[in-house]
Amino acid sequence: MNVQTIVCDVCGNEKQCIPYEAETGDVICENCLQICYVVAMKDKKSNRYFSVGIKGTYEEGEILAKQLINDFGTFEDYKIEKIMMTKHFIEATTSGRTITEISPRELKKHLKDGGKSICLLDIREDFEVEKDLIPGAVHIPIQRIPARIHELDRKKEYIIICTAGYRALYICEFLQENGYKVKTLKGGMLGWKGLGFVVPLAVSTMKAASKLRGRKKDDLL
What CATH number does the domain containing 191 carry?
3.40.250.10
> On the CB side of 125, how many CA atoms lie within 13 Å of its CA?
10
Give the closest residue to 143 by CA, choosing from 35, 34, 53, 13: 53
CA distance 154 to 33: 19
Q: Lay out the sheet containing 33-43: strands in order across.
A: 49-55, 33-43, 75-86
Distance CA 130, CA 148 (A): 21
Pick the last residue of a domain from 32, 52, 86: 86
CB 26 within 8 A of CB 85: no
49: helix, coil or strand? strand
The answer to whether residue 169 sits within a structural domain is yes
| 165-211 tens-digit pLDDT | 999 999 999 999 889 999 999 999 999 988 766 555 444 333 433 43
CA 4 to chain centre: 32
Low-confidence stretches of the chain (pLDDT < 50) are 89-95, 201-221
Domains held by the chain: number: 2
Chain-centroid distance of CA 161 in Å reads 7
Among 59, 86, 113, residue at a domain's last position:
86
Domain hosting residue 126, numbered range: 100-206
Catalytic residues: 162
Residue 82: inside a domain, yes or no? yes
Tell me what pLDDT residue 15 has: 85
In a domain, 215, yes or no: no
Residues 63 and 107 in one domain: no
pLDDT of residue 93: 41
Residues 10 and 51 in one domain: yes
Cα–Cα dist 126/183, whole Å:
22
User: What's the pLDDT at 180?
Assistant: 93
Regarding whether 79 and 9 lie in a shared domain, the answer is yes
Q: In sequence order, which ranges of the chain are alpha helices (DSSP H)?
A: 58-71, 104-112, 126-129, 145-148, 166-177, 188-194, 200-213, 217-220
Quick one: pLDDT at residue 33? 85
Domain end, chosen from 31, 56, 86, is at: 86
pLDDT score of 90 = 41
H helices of 45-198, where? 58-71, 104-112, 126-129, 145-148, 166-177, 188-194
On the 0-12 / 13-18 / 19+ scale of CB atoms within 10 A, 130 is: exposed
Question: Whole-prediction pTM value?
Answer: 0.74
